[in-house]
Amino acid sequence: MSALFPFGDILALANLALTIAKILRENTGSSGEYQALIAELDSSGTALQSLDQFVSNAGPTKLQYSVENTVKFALSRCQTLMADFLKKKAGSGNSTRDESWRKIGWGLFKKDEIRLLKQQLMDQKATINIMLGLSHCTSLERVLKASNDQQITLASMQYNIQQLPRALGYTWEGDNNHKVIWFIDAVGNKLPIAIELCITRATFEGLLRVYFKNRAGNRYIEQEHYELAEEAEGECPGSRTGTTTETCPSCQRSVAIQDTSGFTCSFCGTFVRDYKSMQDQFPTRTASAITLSDADPQTSGAPAPEERFIRRFLVRNADARAAATALMAIG
């Protein structure tokens, strides 16, 4: 915009309008037509000063090509009208401009000429105001369009961010769209398992073999001497599968238990309670993770490391009398 409207030209045009108005105002006895012209010149000068300030603050802001040409033409027309008016009032030019105005008086111009000059200046000023207003409307439309585009972009970014998983990694680590099954082995280790790995029994067994490799209980997994116990529903996230095993002192079979305060053997019906009362007196055993077997442990080879420690159990036989108890030791 500064290339089309040099700051000095706009400011010089404003000063010209104010100078003519000042010269006319200093003369007394002016008619109503001259007073109206003076008011219009003051208004035009003030408007041009505001335009110069706007252009200075706008910096590299560029108007539309048609708006630039129209405003440029209106400014040029104002400059021509005021310059011609000033030349006629200046006379021969042998004295200063102010002295010429005072000597010549008000009779050189007809009232129609004064009214015509005033109307022409008003028309050019109105043209400038209209074109600048249209330019502002166009700029506002561009701003609104850019704002709408940014809003669409932000909405798309928000949607894509919401689709990202809560944590980077595998699906069984948990995200917005996946539920996991928490597998708890006999020693309390927790393993999140993706539901995709539990679709078939073969897939799940393969996962168990990998998990228990070089771990306590690997022998039972390889021999498939285990069972799975599911906890109560309503656990979050997903389901929770727990496996804890103990050896029944009556039938010597491995039994899955859920309550550490006691259990009933599912094979012989023996109820065992306080079976961990002596646990702290002996080294902590390396418990097998999900050992539940129908086979006789004696047929499985040498005693497992989990069975080599002596522990004491208080046994109550469900088929015997209520008062009958036996203190048994297994090794």
The two structure tokens encoding residue 175? 């995200």
Show the tokens assigned to 304: 């497992």
120 and 221 in a single domain? The answer is no
Residues 178 and 136 placed together within one structural domain of the fold: no
The predicted pLDDT at position 304 comes to: 47
Q: Are residues 114 and 214 in the same domain?
A: no
pLDDT of residue 232: 52
| Mean pLDDT, range 21-32, rounded to an integer | 67
Q: Quick one: 311 and 231 in the same domain?
A: yes
Residues 6+ apart with CB under 8 A from 239: 181, 182, 230, 231, 233
Query: Are residue 38 and residue 100 in the same domain, yes or no?
Result: yes
pLDDT in tens, 277-314: 433 433 333 333 343 334 444 444 444 444 444 333 33
Predicted model pTM: 0.37
Least confident stretch, 16-30, 198-212, 261-275, 289-303 = 289-303
Give yes or no for a contact between 219 and 293, defined as CB atoms under 8 angstroms apart: no
- Residues 82, 178, single domain; the answer is no
For β-strands 240-242 and 180-184, DSSP reports them as: parallel
Residue predicted with more confidence, 298 or 113: 113
- Let me know whether 146 and 33 are in one domain: yes
Q: What is the mean pLDDT of the chain?
A: 66
In a domain, 38, yes or no: yes
According to the model, what pLDDT value does residue 321 have?
Answer: 37
Percent of the chain, pLDDT > 70?
Answer: 56
Domain presence at residue 2: no
Same domain, yes or no, for 158 and 187?
no
Q: Which residue type does 244 have? A: T
Tell me the β-bridge partners of 262: 273
When pLDDT is averaged across residues 159-182 and rounded to a whole number, the result is: 65
Reduced to 3 states, what is the DSSP secondary structure of residue 297?
helix
Q: How many CB atoms lie within 10 A of CB 98?
A: 12
Q: Which of 141, 163, 185 is the last residue of a domain?
A: 163
Which of 121, 141, 163 represents a domain boundary (last residue)? Answer: 163
Q: Residues 133, 259: one domain? A: no
pLDDT in tens, 56-106: 666 545 667 777 777 778 888 888 888 887 776 655 444 555 555 554 554
What pLDDT was estimated at residue 283? 39
User: What's the mean pLDDT in 187-198?
Assistant: 79
| Residue 301: inside a domain | yes
Pick from 163, 192, 213: which residue ends a domain? 163
Which neighbouring-strand residues pair with 181?
193
139-143, 187-191, 242-246, 275-279: segment of lowest average pLDDT: 275-279
Question: Tell me: the pLDDT tens digits for 98-110?
Answer: 555 554 554 556 6
pLDDT at 331: 33
CA distance linking residue 215 with residue 140, whole number of Å? 71
Task: Name the percent of the chain lying above pLDDT 90.
Answer: 1
Alpha-carbon distance of 307 to 226, in angstroms, equals 16
Check residue 306 and give its pLDDT: 46
Residue 167, pLDDT score = 56
Window from 40-49, 195-204, 248-257, 315-324 with minimum mean pLDDT: 315-324
Banded pLDDT at 327 (limits 50, 70, 90): very low
Of 39, 49, 47, 29, residue with least CA distance to 114:
39
Residue 1 binned pLDDT confidence (cut-offs 50, 70, 90): very low
Greater confidence (76 vs 169) lies with 76
In tens, the pLDDT along 229-287 reads 766 544 444 444 455 667 777 777 777 666 656 777 777 877 776 544 433 433 333 33
Tokens found for residue 301: 């080879």
Kindly state whether residues 188 and 137 are assigned to the same domain.
Answer: no
154, pLDDT greater than 80? yes
Alpha-carbon separation of residue 122 from 11, 37, 41 (angstroms): 18, 10, 9
pLDDT at residue 173, as a whole number? 52
Domain around 66: 7-163
CA distances from 259 to 103, 188, 273, 288 (A): 122, 14, 10, 17
- The total domain count for the chain is 2
